[in-house]
Amino acid sequence: MTKAELVEVISQKMNCPKTDATEAFDTLVDAITEALVNGESVNLTGIGAIKIVERQARTARNPRTGETIQVPAKKTVKLTPSSVLKNKLN
């Protein structure tokens, strides 16, 4: 589902113009992004928890050339699905 499709669903379910739905969606994304940048986790009931995890530096291999390379440590986002979401999927 793309952002445009999601905005369309929000617009239809809330019976509001697409511009309002787009603004609401963008505000939600901005709030989640700001919380993650500040080191906070975000818990969305029915969906799961979004948090920042740190990956350690590691050695990897380029599959094309076989060359060994160093992958630096970095931060990434992890979604842990809620039990409600897991049950709906299964």
Task: Report how far residue 9's alpha carbon sits from residue 14's, in angstroms, rounded to the nearest whole number.
Answer: 8
Q: What was the pLDDT predicted at 15?
A: 94
How confident is the model over 57-72, as a mean pLDDT? 94
**pLDDT by residue (tens digit) across 13-32?**
999 999 999 999 999 999 99
CATH domain 42-90 topology: HU Protein; Chain A (4.10.520)
Domain ranges of the chain: 1-40, 42-90
Per-residue confidence (pLDDT) for residue 53, from 0 to 100: 95
In degrees and rounded to multiples of 5, residue 17 shows phi and psi of: -65, 155
